[in-house]
């Protein structure tokens, strides 16, 4: 006979050992992740110019040389793209034609990816949005407020080793002697993205908040994320919260700091039913928070359909049902279900990081197109709040 706690502990130990083994294979303890180079076609698309114009800029020596493959193809690093963008901007007729980040008077955009269901694609969509925006030249801060810290892992950290005791966003929002957020922010290997890591410590915030409310510790839980962000927000155009799959104090604090909310949703009836409960609960909780003095004004709220299979009849029905109900609140572009996305995830990568040659070309292109459309729609929402 074996007791359930013994069995679970054994399972936990086995799994932990196997995961560590896997992590060692995926990346050695001190091997840093590195961002790949981009082809001329990709570079032109990211800069918003044609491939022939990019070639001409090189021909006329208007822009610096970049890495050349033995086969004579140009490859661009993210910092090459940044330099070229600066040069293009100085020659542009209208300001901001190439540098689309925020200008004086524009408020920082704070986006929360939300849903209380795990596996609905919060982390996947938030990381892809962050990366696409960074590649387009935006200065992005990712904030991982999920104790499970999947986003932190995607950036090449091992939360259970690297930030076991300290170093997560928890340090900047805790009630007892919080640190300035700048002290927990990490520069990542991905040019243009900084990270406030997540980790198990974040769970403390859920445990400590009831007592802090009784003690009337200031600022209250719902204002603590916004307060922490104030110190650093001038350094970013966009701040992205990857929320945990629950409506706890962490999520509510992120919502109170947000200007835009993206609710990820898998289009099947079971998920819609649970989303209905989720929306009810959110509304009730947010009422309580508003009564306590929080102001929550979003520039936009959108439902982001994930794992969409265009040939699946029932899914199509669910999507059109959602569109009828919520109208423009359902994003036009869905995130397609794609093995390229899940396969990239297996090695802690995104579709923007993996090499196209590792995939079936059509599968890869379909996934990239779908994510670009989603992220470019999010970019236009951001631009719209800046009145452009
Ligand atoms: N569009 C998609 N196509 C295929 N797999 C996906 C897609 N979106 C997410 N996944 C996979 O589903 C799993 C859960 O997604 P994740 O983003 O971690 O969800 P959440 O953060 O909401 O818990 C991950 O393994 C991810 O790679
Ligand atoms: Mg997640």
Residue partners of 170: CB distance under 8 A and separation at least 6: 199, 201, 202, 204, 205
Check pocket membership of 82 for ligand 1, CB cut-off 6 A: no
Closest residue to atom 5 of ligand 1, CA basis? 342
Residues constituting the chain = 388
Q: Is residue 150 part of a domain?
A: yes
pLDDT tens for residues 61-110? 999 999 999 999 999 999 999 999 999 999 999 888 899 999 999 999 99
- Ligand 1 center to 66 CA (angstroms): 35
Domain shared by 77 and 218, yes or no:
no
Q: Are residues 87 and 113 part of one domain?
A: no
- State if residue 64 touches ligand 1 by the CB under 6 angstroms criterion: no
81 and 131 belong to one structural domain: no
Same domain, 70 and 143: no
Residue 287 covered by a domain: yes
Q: Which residues surround ligand 2, an ion (CB under 5 A)?
A: 122-123, 150
Question: Same domain for 311 and 187?
Answer: yes
Indicate if 83 and 160 belong to the same structural domain: no
What's the rounded Cα separation, in Å, for the pair 319 and 304? 11
Give CA–CA dist 269/321, Å, rounded.
10
For 292, the 3-state DSSP assignment is: coil
pLDDT for res 31: 57
Please check whether residue 108 is in contact with residue 239, taking contact to mean a CB–CB distance below 8 angstroms.
Answer: yes
- Dihedral over alpha carbons 36, 34, 129, 55 (to 10 degrees): -30
pTM: 0.93
Q: Has residue 290 been placed in a domain? A: yes
In a domain, residue 31? The reply is no
Percent residues over pLDDT 70 in the chain: 98
The two tokens of residue 206 are: 């859920």
Proximal ligand: closest to the CA of 363: 1
Q: Is the CB of 139 under 6 A from ligand 1?
A: no
- Lookup: tokens for 378: 């999010």
Same domain (yes/no): 159, 221: yes
Q: Is the pLDDT of residue 25 over 80?
A: no
**27 located within any domain:** no
- Please work out whether the CB of residue 338 comes within 6 Å of at least one atom of ligand 1: yes
Q: 373 C-alpha to center of ligand 2: Å?
A: 21
| CATH number reported for the structural domain that contains residue 77 in this entry | 1.10.1660.10
| Dist CA 313 CA 84 (whole Å) | 45
Answer yes or no: is the C-beta of 341 below 6 A from any ligand 1 atom. Answer: yes
pLDDT given for residue 17 in this prediction: 83
Q: What is the pLDDT of residues 221-238, one digit of tens each?
A: 999 999 999 999 999 999
* Non-local CB neighbours of 270 within 8 Å, separated by 6+ positions: none
Q: For residues 44 and 123, state if they share a domain.
A: no
- Both 83 and 118 in one domain: the answer is no
Residue 12 lies in a domain: no
Which of 30, 57, 91 finishes a domain? 91
Residue nearest to atom 27 of ligand 1 (CA): 342
Instruction: Measure 144 CA to ligand 2 centroid, in angstroms.
Output: 9
**pLDDT tens sequence across 305-314:** 999 999 999 9
Mutate to test the pocket of ligand 1, among 121, 241, 264, 343 (most ligand atoms within 8 A of CB): 121
Task: Say how many C-beta atoms besides its own lie within 10 A of residue 185's C-beta.
Answer: 21
Q: Are residues 301 and 188 in the same domain?
A: yes
120 and 86 in a common domain: no
Domain assignment present for residue 263? The answer is yes
pLDDT digits (tens, 9 = 90+) for 230-267: 999 999 999 999 999 989 999 999 999 999 999 999 99
Q: Among residues 291, 215, 217, 216, which one has the least CA distance to residue 252?
A: 291
Res 187: pLDDT: 96
pLDDT digits (tens, 9 = 90+) for 164-219: 889 999 999 999 999 999 999 999 999 999 999 999 999 999 999 999 999 999 99
Q: Which residues form the domain of 286?
A: 109-385
Same domain, residue pair 340 and 298: yes
CATH for 146: 3.40.50.300
- pLDDT at residue 277 above 80? yes
Tell me what pLDDT residue 362 has: 95
Instruction: Decide if 195 contacts 152 (C-beta within 8 A).
Output: yes
Q: What is the mean pLDDT of the chain?
A: 93
Condensed to tens digits (0 to 9), the pLDDT of residues 362-383 reads: 999 999 999 999 999 999 999 9
Is the pLDDT at 358 greater than 90? The verdict is no
Check residue 10 and give its pLDDT.
Answer: 86
Q: What pLDDT shows up at residue 160?
A: 86
Residue 19 falls inside a structural domain = no
How many structural domains compose the chain? 2
How much distance in Å is there from the Cα of 53 to the middle of ligand 2? 40
């Amino acid at each position: 006979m074996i007791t359930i706690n013994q069995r679970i502990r054994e399972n936990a130990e086995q799994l932990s050992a196997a995961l560590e083994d896997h992590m060692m294979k995926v990346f050695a303890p001190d091997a840093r992740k590195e961002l790949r180079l981009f082809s001329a076609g990709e570079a032109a698309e990211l800069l918003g110019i044609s491939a022939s114009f990019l070639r001409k800029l090189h021909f006329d020596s208007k822009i610096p040389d970049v890495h050349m493959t033995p086969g004579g193809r140009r490859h661009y690093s993210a910092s090459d793209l940044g330099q070229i963008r600066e040069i293009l901007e100085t020659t542009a007729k209208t300001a901001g034609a190439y540098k689309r980040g925020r200008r004086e008077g524009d408020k920082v955009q704070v986006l929360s990816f939300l849903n209380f269901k795990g596996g609905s694609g919060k982390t996947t969509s938030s990381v892809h949005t962050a990366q696409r925006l960074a590649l387009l030249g935006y200065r992005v801060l990712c904030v991982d407020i999920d104790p499970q810290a999947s986003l932190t892992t995607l950036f090449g950290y091992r939360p259970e080793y690297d930030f076991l005791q300290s170093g997560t966003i928890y340090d900047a929002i805790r009630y007892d002697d919080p640190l300035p957020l700048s002290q927990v922010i990490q520069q990542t290997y991905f040019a243009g993205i900084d990270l406030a890591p997540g980790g198990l410590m974040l769970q403390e915030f859920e445990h400590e908040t009831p007592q802090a409310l009784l003690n009337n510790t200031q600022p209250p839980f719902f204002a603590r994320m916004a307060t922490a962000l104030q110190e650093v927000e001038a350094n970013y155009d966009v701040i992205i919260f990857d929320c945990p799959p629950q409506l706890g104090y962490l999520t509510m604090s992120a919502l109170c700091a947000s200007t835009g909310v993206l609710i990820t949703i898998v289009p099947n009836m079971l998920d819609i039913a649970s989303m209905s409960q989720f929306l009810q609960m959110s509304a009730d909780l947010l009422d309580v928070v508003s009564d306590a003095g929080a102001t929550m004004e979003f520039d936009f709220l959108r439902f982001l359909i994930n794992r969409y299979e265009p040939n699946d009849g029932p899914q199509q029905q669910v999507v059109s049902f959602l569109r009828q109900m919520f109208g423009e609140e359902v994003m036009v572009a869905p995130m397609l279900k794609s093995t390229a996305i899940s396969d990239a995830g297996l090695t802690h990568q995104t579709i923007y990081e993996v090499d196209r040659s590792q995939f079936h070309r059509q599968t890869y292109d379909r996934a990239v197109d779908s994510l670009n459309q989603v992220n470019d729609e999010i970019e236009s929402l951001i631009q719209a709040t800046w009145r452009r």
